[in-house]
């Protein structure tokens, strides 16, 4: 069955719209999650980009220029969403955002009448962005040990391969005869899979991340950021279940009234917890360096 460009665009934009609505429902539950916000914008721009292709008969090559610019921006937002999965991650510098958007707009406009060159510029940047996203997810997954990243890694990995292959076919000159190309059937399957796996994989990651955050809140004291009684019991139970030797340091801050008062009055509760951890580290290093200090 031969699939033309219009059919491809209708199916992909529809699937992308469903994925975007799914992420929007997730955003209602976690409105402040930076990754969801970035992915929601990515899905929105991706839907609009394929919707623009439907207007090819009216807009001509301008439709592909719009698709080119919006689609690349969408993939950059995928990368930003993965970037924000890591806690306490600084936002990207504004110049990087501006540089990517400028690249998308300039190549879309300057190469609007050069089909092969436009495909090369588009596929090259898309493959790079998806490869960077895959690499970041691989690092966050503890090199594949966290299973919730598997689906998303598969989606981004296949996307990287697909765009690299598309770049190769563009360099080979498969798109010189028109906007439509001979791989629409395969592209439909690949793009549909990528969107579905991307959506499901991102939901798995967020779900597991929220679960871990809730587990941490049960084990960690909110004020100081150090383990509470439950967390200490779990650590001790884990250590006692092994034959490895370990040491326990007990620091009574009631005996350090001046230090405690200064920290709580002038600074923050979090610094009290950090001070406890610092003291424990200093004591441990002193014991390792001078065994005679152990009594």
218, 245, 264: which is the final residue of a domain? 218
Does residue 223 belong to any structural domain of this protein?
Answer: no
Q: Are residues 49 and 150 in the same domain?
A: yes
Q: Are residues 185 and 289 in the same domain?
A: no
**What's the longest Cα–Cα distance across the chain?**
85
pLDDT tens figures, 246-295: 777 666 655 555 555 555 555 555 555 566 666 666 666 655 655 554 54
- What gap in Å lies between CA 195 and CA 87, rounded to an integer? 25
| CATH number assigned to the domain comprising residue 102 | 1.20.1070
Does residue 108 belong to any structural domain of this protein?
Answer: yes
Residue 82 neighbours by CB under 8 Å, 6+ apart: 35, 133, 136, 137, 140
Report yes or no: 5 and 180 within 8 Å, Cβ to Cβ: yes
Does residue 224 belong to any structural domain of this protein?
Answer: no
Domain that holds residue 267: 229-293
Q: Are residues 120 and 189 in the same domain?
A: yes
Q: Are residues 181 and 212 in the same domain?
A: yes
- What gap in Å lies between CA 113 and CA 243, rounded to an integer? 71
Q: Are residues 59 and 201 in the same domain?
A: yes
Using pLDDT thresholds of 50, 70 and 90, give the confidence band for residue 216.
Answer: confident
160, 183, 218: which is the final residue of a domain? 218
Q: Are residues 10 and 102 in the same domain?
A: yes
Q: Is the pLDDT of residue 93 over 50?
A: yes
Q: Are residues 27 and 100 in the same domain?
A: yes
Q: Three-state DSSP class for 177?
A: coil
Residue 277 neighbours by CB under 8 Å, 6+ apart: 226
Does residue 58 belong to any structural domain of this protein?
Answer: yes
Rounded to two decimals, the pTM is 0.71
Q: Are residues 79 and 145 in the same domain?
A: yes
- Say what the pLDDT of residue 89 is: 61
- What gap in Å lies between CA 40 and CA 32, rounded to an integer? 12
Q: Is the pLDDT of residue 181 over 60?
A: no
What's the number of domains the chain is made of?
2
Q: Are residues 93 and 201 in the same domain?
A: yes
- Say what the pLDDT of residue 178 is: 47
257 burial level (CB within 10 Å; 0-12, 13-18, 19+): exposed
Q: Are residues 134 and 49 in the same domain?
A: yes
193, 218, 243: which is the final residue of a domain? 218
Q: Are residues 12 and 136 in the same domain?
A: yes
- Say what the pLDDT of residue 123 is: 85
Q: Are residues 168 and 194 in the same domain?
A: yes
């Amino acid at each position: 069955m031969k699939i033309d460009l219009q059919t491809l665009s209708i199916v992909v934009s529809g699937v992308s719209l469903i994925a975007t609505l799914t992420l929007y429902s997730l955003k209602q539950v976690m409105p402040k999650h930076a990754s969801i916000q970035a992915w929601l914008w990515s899905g929105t721009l991706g839907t609009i980009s394929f919707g623009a292709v439907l207007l090819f008969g009216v807009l001509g090559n301008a439709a592909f220029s719009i698709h080119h610019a919006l689609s690349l921006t969408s993939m950059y937002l995928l990368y930003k969403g993965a970037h924000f999965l890591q806690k306490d991650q600084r936002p990207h510098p504004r110049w990087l955002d501006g540089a990517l958007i400028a690249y998308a707009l300039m190549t879309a406009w300057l190469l609007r009448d050069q089909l092969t060159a436009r495909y090369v510029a588009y596929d090259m940047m898309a493959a790079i962005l998806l490869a960077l996203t895959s690499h970041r997810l691989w690092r966050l997954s503890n090199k594949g040990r966290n299973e919730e990243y598997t689906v998303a890694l598969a989606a981004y990995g296949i996307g990287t391969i697909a765009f690299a292959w598309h770049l190769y076919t563009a360099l080979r000159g498969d798109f010189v005869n028109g906007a439509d190309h001979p791989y629409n059937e395969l592209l439909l399957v690949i793009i549909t899979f990528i969107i579905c796996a991307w959506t499901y994989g991102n939901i798995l990651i967020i779900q597991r991340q929220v679960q871990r955050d809730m587990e941490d809140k049960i084990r960690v004291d909110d004020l100081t950021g150090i383990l509470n009684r439950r967390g200490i019991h779990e650590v001790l139970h884990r250590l006692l279940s092994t034959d490895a030797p370990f040491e326990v340091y007990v620091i009574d801050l009631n005996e350090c009234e001046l230090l405690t008062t200064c920290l709580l009055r002038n600074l923050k509760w979090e610094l009290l917890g950090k001070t406890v951890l610092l003291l424990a580290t200093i004591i441990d290093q002193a014991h390792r360096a001078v065994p005679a200090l152990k009594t």
